Amino acid sequence: MAAIEARRLLPGTKRGVPLAWRNLVANKRRLLRSSAGIAFAALLMMVELGFEQGFFDASLSAVQALDGDLFVLSAYKYRFGTRDPIAHAELDTVRGVAGVASAAPLYASWQDFFWTSPLDSKPYLVRVFGFDPDEPPVFSLSGIKDGQALLKTGDTVLVDSHARAFLGMDTDKKSTDLSGQPVQIVGTFSLGPDFMSDGTVAMSDRLFAKLLPGNRAPVAELPIETIVVKLRPDATLSTVQRALRKALPNTSSVMTKAQIVDLEEQFQAKLSSAGPIFWLGAMVGFVVGMLISYQVIYTDLSDQLPQYATLKAIGYKTSYLVRSVLVQAGLSGLAGYVPAWLLCIGAYRIVGAIALLPLHMTLRLTILTLGLTLGMCLLAAALAVRRVISADPAEIF
Amino acid sequence: MPAVTLRAVPLLSWRILSHEKGRTALATAGVFIAILLVFIELGFFIAVPQGGMLVYDHLRFDLLLCSKNYAFQAEPWQFPRARLTDAAKVAGVARATPLYFAGTKWQEPAGGDRIDAFIIGFDPAARPFAVTGIEQQTVALARRDTMLVDDATRPIFGPIAAGTEVLLDNHKITIGGDYTLGTGFLGMAVAVMDEANFFRLFAPRPADIVNLGLITLASGADPDKTAAALRQALPDDVQIFTRAELKNHEDKYWTTRTSVGLIFGSGLVISFVVGIMVLYQTLATQITRHLPQFATLKAIGYSDFYLAAVVMIEAAMIVLVAFFPAAGAALAAYAQIRSATLLPVVLTAPEFAAVLVITLAMSAASAFLSLSNLRRADPADVF
C-alpha cells in the first residue's frame, strides 16, 4: 500500500491530495463560523494577558525611566513604589566609592502630596519625585531632562501629561496648589499612571523639602528614597556594586534596574490580586476555545466518517488520518489566530488610550497566545480524533 | 398544513433533541461553557466595586459624615472632630462616632521587609463594627499597644496568631487576635485598634482630626430628611452620604475613575460575543444536521414559521438545561476567585435572573441567525 501512502496534508508539495487543507476549505461558511469562534476565544486570552502585562509594565514605568547604572535604596523595601527612605549621609559614602562617576539623590512620595485639580478644585493624592536640578538627570524622560533647568528657581513643577484626566494636568493652567501651596507649572513629561498613583509631579529637592508634610529637615539632611548612581566608563558594574555594598550599612541595598524589576515581580506574584484575575480570564478563554474547536472537529469528523472509513478501507493508515485531523485543527487555529491578533492590536490601542495602560502586542504575548491557541485546537482535536481511530469501514456501510 | 397545532411544537423540539443524545449533550456542554464564561467575567466586573464597599458593608451607620474632598474609602481626607459634636445635636441623630485611618509600615521583629499596612482606630464602646471577631474581643482591644488583625491579611506579613509581636513604624505592637471581615481595597494588611492605642502609635497626630464619621439615627428618623438637616446645620467643609448615595459614589469611583470598569467591562463584552458565537455555532450545527428532516416537514406542508418556532424552542430548551449547572459551577468559581483574590464576589438572585434572561435573548438571537439555513431547506435539494 506504499504507493498511496501519501504524506501530503498541505498544498504546495508535489504529489497527492492535500487532505487537511481540502477538508478545511471544503465548507467556507463553516470555516468562517469556526474561525470566528476561535478568533474571539483567542482575543479574550490576548486581552486578559495583555492587561496583566500592562498592569505590571505600568507599575514599573517610573523604574524603567530612571537614568542610572546602580541604585541605592532601603534594604527593607518590598517594592519600589512605597516610601521608605535612607539617611542623607549615605550620599557622601556612595560618592566616595571608586568607579562612581555621579550619585544623584531622588526623593519620592506616594502618599503625602495632594494636587488641587484645576478641573474641580478638589485635592487628590499624587506621586511626587524630587531631585537636584543641578545634578545630572535622574530620569531619562525627555520632558524632565529638558525641563529640569526650569525647576531651579521659584516654586515650579513639571507635571505628567499622561496623568488621569480628572487631575487636569494636561490643561493650559499654569498654576495650581500642591499640598495647599501655590506652584507654577512650567512643563510636562509623559509617564502615565499605575495602579497606585493617578498622576505624577516632578520638582526640585528644595521645593520637595518645603512642601513635604511634617518635614523639618533642610535639603542637605533630607532622607533620600533612591540614590541614582552612574559609573565611570572604565568601571565594572559588579565590582562597584560589591564596593558600594561594603561601604554602606546593611540597612541599604544596592541594585541594578533588573534587580528592582525582580523585586517588583516578586511583590506582584506574592501580593497582587490582578495577576490571578487575568490568568483566570485567559484560562476561561482557553476552555471556551477548546470547546468551540472540539465542536467543529467533532461535527466535521462525524459528517466525514464514511469518507475516513473509505480511506482506511483503501489502505491509508490511521496515523495519516490522525495527522490530517491534527493539521486541520492547527490550520483552523491559525485561521482564527491571525484575525484575532490584528483585532487585538486595535483593541490595545483604544483601551490603552482610554485606560492609560501601556498595552502592547509584544513578542512574548504573541508567542504565548499563539501557543495557547494552537494548544487548545490540538487538544480538542486529540480528544475528538478517537472517532477516526475507531472508524470501522465494515460498520459504516 | 396538517392537523398539528402549535401545541405540538415543544414536543417536536424535544424529539429532535432526544433523538441524538450524544450531540445534544455536546451542544448543551457548549452552551454551559458559554454561560459559565459570562458568569465568570461578570463576577470579575462586580468584584471590584464590591471590594470597595466591603468594609462599609460591615460598619453600623445610617449616614456617613466625611470631608468635602472625600475621594473613596482609602482616601477619605479629614475633618475637625467638632463637626461630629455638632452633628450629634441635630434632631434625629442618635450618635456620631469617629473612625481614624492611618498607613503604617509593618515589620516582623526579626527584621525583613517593611510592608505597608492599614490601621483603623475606633472607640470600641460605640460598636461601629458589625463583625463578630471584633465585638467578642473587646478585652484584647482594651490592652495597651494591642490590635486585632483581619485574617485576610496576606501571609507575607508573617503569623498573626494572638500574642505575636510586630513592629508598626518601629513601635512594638501585640496582636490580640484576629477577625474575619476582608481587607477590600484598604491594603494588604488591615488591623483595628482602640483609639487610645491608635493615637499613642501615631503621635503626634492631633486627636481632633477625624477621617470618617459614622452617624446612627434615632429609631423612626428618616435618613434623607436627617441628611438634609445635617447639610443645613454643618459647614460646607464636610458632606453627608446616605448608605445608598455612598454605594453609588463608591461604585462610580471604582468603575469610572480607576478604569477598572473599562478593563473588566471589555472582558465582559468579549465574553458575550464568544457566548453568542458558541450558541450560534451549536444551534447552526443542529439545524444543518437536521436539514433533511426540516425539508421533509416543509414538503408535507409545515410553514417556515412553524419550523422557526421548533428551532427557537429547541434553543430555549438547551439554554434552560445548561443554565442551572452553569450557575452552580459559577458559584464554585466565585468561591475560587474569592480565595485567590480575597475580593468578595457575590451575585444576587436578580443578577442571576438577569444572566438567564440575557442568555435566553442571546440564544434567541443566534437561533434567529441560524434560521437562514432553515429557509434554504428546499425539499427538492435535500433528496
The pLDDT tens digits of the residues spanning B67-106 come to 999 989 988 999 999 999 999 999 999 999 999 999 999 9
Q: Per the structure block, which three cell numbers stand in for A190?
A: 509623559
Q: Where are the alpha helices (DSSP H) in B172-290?
A: 195-201, 223-233, 243-252, 260-289
Residues B75, B207 within the same domain: yes
Residue type, A210: K
To the nearest whole Å, the CA of A119 is away from the closest chain B CA by: 14
Q: Please give the full DSSP string across B218-232, using - where no structure is assigned.
A: PTT--HHHHHHHHHH
Interface contact A33-B342, CB threshold 8 A: no
pLDDT recorded at residue B95: 94
Confirm or reject contact between A44 and chain B (CB < 8 A): yes
Choose among A43, A84, A277: nearest Cβ to B105: A84
Q: Please tell me the distance from the alpha carbon of residue B337 to that of residue B146, in angstroms, as a whole number.
A: 32
Chain B residue numbers with beta carbons less than 8 Å from the beta carbon of A302 are 23
Q: Please tell me the distance from the alpha carbon of residue A137 to that of residue A106, in angstroms, as a whole number.
A: 10
Q: Please enumerate in sequence order all residues whose Cβ is within 8 A of that of A392, keeping only pairs 6 or more positions apart, or say none.
A: A309
Q: What are phi and psi of A345, to 5 degrees?
A: -60, -40
Interface contact A111-B29, CB threshold 8 A: no
Kindly provide the residue ranges of all beta strands, DSSP E only, lying in A77-165, ordered along the sequence. Answer: 100-116, 123-131, 156-160
The model's pTM = 0.81
Bridge-based pairing of strands A200-204 and A181-189 is unpaired
Choose among A84, A123, A351: nearest Cβ to B262: A351
Residue in A127, A88, A101 with CA at minimum distance from that of residue A227: A88
Q: Please enumerate in sequence order all residues whose Cβ is within 8 A of that of A326, keeping only pairs 6 or more positions apart, or say none.
A: A378, A381, A382, A385
Quick check: is B203 in a domain?
yes
Kindly provide the residue ranges of all beta strands, DSSP E only, lying in chain A, ordered along the sequence. Answer: 70-74, 100-116, 123-131, 156-160, 175-178, 181-189, 200-204, 226-231, 252-255
Quick check: is B127 in a domain?
yes
Residues B305, B347 within the same domain: yes
**Cα angle value B253/B256/B257 (rounded, 5°):** 60
Q: Please tell me the distance from the alpha carbon of residue A318 to that of residue A308, in angstroms, as a whole number.
A: 9
Q: Please tell me the distance from the alpha carbon of residue A260 to that of residue A275, in angstroms, as a whole number.
A: 19
pLDDT recorded at residue A1: 40
CB A170 within 8 A of CB A139: no
Domain boundary among B176, B200, B235: B235
Quick check: is B211 in a domain?
yes
Q: Per the structure block, which three cell numbers stand in for B20?
A: 441524538
Q: Per the structure block, which three cell numbers stand in for B152?
A: 485576610
Which H/E stretch holds residue A67?
A: none
Quick check: is B94 in a domain?
yes
Each residue's pLDDT, cut to its tens digit, for chain A (397 residues) gives 433 444 566 665 555 567 778 778 777 877 887 888 889 889 989 988 998 888 888 888 999 999 999 999 999 998 999 999 999 999 999 999 999 999 999 999 998 999 999 998 889 999 999 999 999 999 999 999 999 999 999 999 999 999 988 899 988 889 999 998 999 999 999 999 987 889 999 999 999 999 998 888 899 999 999 999 999 999 999 999 999 999 999 999 999 999 999 998 888 877 766 677 788 788 888 988 888 888 888 878 877 888 888 888 888 888 888 888 899 899 999 999 999 999 999 999 988 888 888 899 999 999 999 999 999 999 999 998 886 777 666 665 5
Residues B231, B350 within the same domain: no
Chain B residue numbers with beta carbons less than 8 Å from the beta carbon of A122 are 68-69, 71
Choose among B29, B116, B278: nearest Cβ to A82: B116
Going A45 to A46 to A51 to A56, the CA torsion angle's sign is positive
Bridge-based pairing of strands A200-204 and A123-131 is parallel
Q: Per the structure block, which three cell numbers stand in for B253?
A: 469611583
Q: What is the CB neighbour count within 10 angstroms for residue B187?
A: 20
Q: Please tell me the distance from the alpha carbon of residue A237 to that of residue B165, in angstroms, as a whole number.
A: 40
To the nearest whole Å, the CA of A122 is away from the closest chain B CA by: 6
To the nearest whole Å, the CA of B51 is away from the closest chain A CA by: 12
* Residue scoring higher pLDDT (A395 or B149): B149
- Mean pLDDT on B34-62: 87
Q: Say whether pLDDT at B2 is over 80.
A: no
pLDDT recorded at residue A130: 96
* Segments making up each domain of chain A, as ranges: 2-59+274-396, 70-255
Confirm or reject contact between A208 and chain B (CB < 8 A): no
Q: Please tell me the distance from the alpha carbon of residue A229 to that of residue A239, in angstroms, as a whole number.
A: 14
Q: Please tell me the distance from the alpha carbon of residue A139 to that of residue A226, in angstroms, as a whole number.
A: 12
Chain B residue numbers with beta carbons less than 8 Å from the beta carbon of A288 are 33-34, 37, 274, 278
Q: Please tell me the distance from the alpha carbon of residue B122 to that of residue B109, in angstroms, as a whole number.
A: 26
Residues B158, B111 within the same domain: yes
Residues B88, B222 within the same domain: yes
Residues B187, B226 within the same domain: yes
pLDDT recorded at residue A5: 46
User: Could you read off the pLDDT of B203-239 as tens digits, one per residue?
Assistant: 889 989 999 999 999 999 999 999 999 999 999 999 9
Residues B231, B264 within the same domain: no
- Per the structure, the count of domains in chain B is 2
CB B327 within 8 A of CB B359: no
Chain A residue numbers with beta carbons less than 8 Å from the beta carbon of B115 are 78
Q: Please tell me the distance from the alpha carbon of residue A142 to that of residue A123, in angstroms, as a whole number.
A: 28
- Mean pLDDT on B333-354: 80
Quick check: is B153 in a domain?
yes
Which of A20-29, B244-253, B304-313 comes out lowest in average pLDDT? A20-29
Choose among A41, A76, A124: nearest Cβ to B114: A76
pLDDT recorded at residue A2: 38
User: Could you read off the pLDDT of B350-376 as tens digits, one per residue?
Assistant: 888 888 888 888 788 877 777 776 666
Residues B26, B108 within the same domain: no
Interface contact B340-A280, CB threshold 8 A: yes
To the nearest whole Å, the CA of B340 is away from the closest chain A CA by: 7
To the nearest whole Å, the CA of A81 is away from the closest chain B CA by: 11
Residues in A 94-123 with any Cβ partner in B closer than 8 A: 111, 122-123
Interface contact B262-A355, CB threshold 8 A: yes
Residue in B201, B103, B98, B190 with CA at minimum distance from that of residue B145: B201
Which H/E stretch holds residue B146?
A: strand B146-150
To the nearest whole Å, the CA of A149 is away from the closest chain B CA by: 33
Interface contact B266-A284, CB threshold 8 A: no
Interface contact B285-A299, CB threshold 8 A: yes
Q: Say whether pLDDT at B383 is over 80.
A: no
Bridge-based pairing of strands B171-179 and B165-168 is antiparallel
Residue in B161, B182, B32 with CA at minimum distance from that of residue B118: B182
Identify the residue among B45, B115, B291 best suited for mutation to test binding to A, counting A beta carbons within 10 A and taking the highest: B115
- Mean pLDDT on B14-37: 81
Q: Please tell me the distance from the alpha carbon of residue A334 to that of residue A375, in angstroms, as a whole number.
A: 11
pLDDT recorded at residue A4: 46
What is the number of residues in chain B? 383
User: Could you read off the pLDDT of A104-161 as tens digits, one per residue?
Assistant: 999 999 989 999 999 988 899 999 999 999 999 999 999 999 999 999 999 999 999 9
Q: Say whether pLDDT at B163 is over 80.
A: yes
> Is the previous residue joined to A18 through a cis bond, with omega within 30 degrees of 0?
no
Q: Say how many CB pairs under 8 Å bridge A and B.
A: 122
Interface contact B29-A270, CB threshold 8 A: no
What is the number of residues in chain A? 397
To the nearest whole Å, the CA of A15 is away from the closest chain B CA by: 34
To the nearest whole Å, the CA of B142 is away from the closest chain A CA by: 30
Q: Which residue has the cell 442551572?
A: B324
Interface contact A33-B281, CB threshold 8 A: yes
Q: Please tell me the distance from the alpha carbon of residue A353 to that of residue A31, in angstroms, as a whole number.
A: 34
User: Could you read off the pLDDT of B185-206 as tens digits, one per residue?
Assistant: 888 899 999 999 999 999 889 9
Interface contact A76-B112, CB threshold 8 A: yes
CA nearest to B37 within chain A: A284
Is residue B357 helix, strand or coil?
helix
Domain boundary among B183, B201, B235: B235
pLDDT recorded at residue B336: 82
Interface contact A356-B114, CB threshold 8 A: no
Choose among A82, A276, A291: nearest Cβ to B30: A291
Residue in A94, A139, A129, A85 with CA at minimum distance from that of residue A108: A129
Q: What are phi and psi of A160, to 5 degrees?
A: -85, 115
Residue type, B295: A
To the nearest whole Å, the CA of B219 is away from the closest chain A CA by: 35
Confirm or reject contact between A295 and chain B (CB < 8 A): yes
Query: What range does the domain containing B36 cover?
Result: 6-53+259-382
Q: Please give the full DSSP string across A11-42, using - where no structure is assigned.
A: TTSSSS--HHHHHHHS-HHHHHHHHHHHHHHH
Residues B36, B176 within the same domain: no
Q: Please give the full DSSP string across B160-213, using - where no structure is assigned.
A: --TT-EEEETTEEEEEEEEE----TTT-S-EEEEEHHHHHHHTTTS-TTEESEE
Residues B274, B355 within the same domain: yes
Choose among B23, B69, B114: nearest Cβ to A123: B69
**In DSSP terms, which residues pair with A189 in a beta bridge?**
A160
Residues B191, B134 within the same domain: yes
Interface contact A276-B40, CB threshold 8 A: no
Residues B187, B327 within the same domain: no
Q: Say whether pLDDT at B257 is over 80.
A: no
CB A254 within 8 A of CB A246: no
pLDDT recorded at residue B297: 82
To the nearest whole Å, the CA of B299 is away from the closest chain A CA by: 24
CA nearest to A82 within chain B: B116
Q: Please give the full DSSP string across B297-347, using - where no structure is assigned.
A: HHHTT--HHHHHHHHHHHHHHHHHHHHHHHHHHHHHHHHHHHHHH------
Chain B residue numbers with beta carbons less than 8 Å from the beta carbon of A277 are 44, 47, 337, 340-341
Is residue B98 helix, strand or coil?
strand
Interface contact A76-B113, CB threshold 8 A: yes
Q: Please tell me the distance from the alpha carbon of residue B109 to that of residue A326, in angstroms, as a whole number.
A: 59
Confidence of residue B296 (pLDDT cuts 50, 70, 90): confident
Identify the residue among A55, A56, A299 best suited for mutation to test binding to B, counting B beta carbons within 10 A and taking the highest: A299
Q: Please tell me the distance from the alpha carbon of residue B178 to that of residue B136, in angstroms, as a whole number.
A: 11
Identify the residue among A288, A349, A383 best suited for mutation to test binding to B, counting B beta carbons within 10 A and taking the highest: A288
**In DSSP terms, which residues pair with B2 in a beta bridge?**
none
- Torsion of Cα atoms, A153 then A154 then A160 then A163, to 10°: 170
Going B215 to B221 to B224 to B230, the CA torsion angle's sign is negative
CB A333 within 8 A of CB A374: yes
CB B37 within 8 A of CB B271: yes
To the nearest whole Å, the CA of B174 is away from the closest chain A CA by: 21
Choose among A37, A41, A124: nearest Cβ to B71: A124
Chain A residue numbers with beta carbons less than 8 Å from the beta carbon of B266 are 47, 347, 351
Q: What is the CB neighbour count within 10 angstroms for residue B145?
A: 17
